[in-house]
Amino acid sequence: MTIRNIDDHLKTRLRIRAAAHGRSMEDEARDILRAALSTEEKRQPNLAETIRRRMAASGGVVLDIAPREPIRPVDLDP
């Protein structure tokens, strides 16, 4: 694998980090990738899940459903 167009500042930081760990830049880059990709990505909760989680701590909320009436007929003739 070849990575092109790496910023000089980033390349310098990688070189310094690799030297600090006593390994080559390639080994350091490999280790960084391994560490970054070894964890499971966190799934972003949707709004309903977030609200449910926050309300669960207080015991939740029970809402009364308003009574519904039948649909009124619509007179289309004026």
Query: Tokens standing for 7?
Result: 């910023």
Residues 6+ apart with CB under 8 A from 11: 25
- Would the pLDDT of 11 be above 70? yes
Helix axis angle, 25-37 relative to 8-20, nearest 10°?
Answer: 90
- The answer to whether 18 and 28 have CB atoms below 8 angstroms apart is yes
pLDDT tens per residue across span 26-47: 999 999 999 988 887 777 778 9
- Would the pLDDT of 59 be above 90? no
Average pLDDT score over residue span 13-18: 96
pLDDT band of residue 72 (cuts 50, 70, 90) is confident
- Would the pLDDT of 74 be above 90? no
Give the 3-state secondary structure of residue 10. helix
The pTM of the full predicted model, rounded to 2 decimals, is 0.51
